Amino acid sequence: MTFLVDFMVDAEGRLVARLNRNMVSGALKGGAIGAARIDTAFQETANAIAATLHPAGVLAGSVPQN
């Protein structure tokens, strides 16, 4: 499983960090179960990052992935 972070600037000049995941390896190796495990790990990672960075004042907001 691979997580990637993309950095960009939005229309209002704010720095945006987007957390992405590579689903191909899990889906190919474990089918639907592998994909579900990767999704769970991704959500836990994203939540842990937000829980750490919000109180530190580094992360101003977050948008859930659809």
Per-residue pLDDT 10s for the chain (66 aa) are 788 888 888 888 888 888 888 766 555 666 777 778 888 888 898 888 888 888 888 777 777 665
| Phi, psi at 60, each rounded to 5° | -85, -30
12 in Cβ contact with 29 (< 8 Å): no
The beta-carbon contacts of 56-59 under 8 Å, at least 24 apart in sequence, are: none
Kindly state the DSSP code that residue 9 receives in the 8-state scheme: E
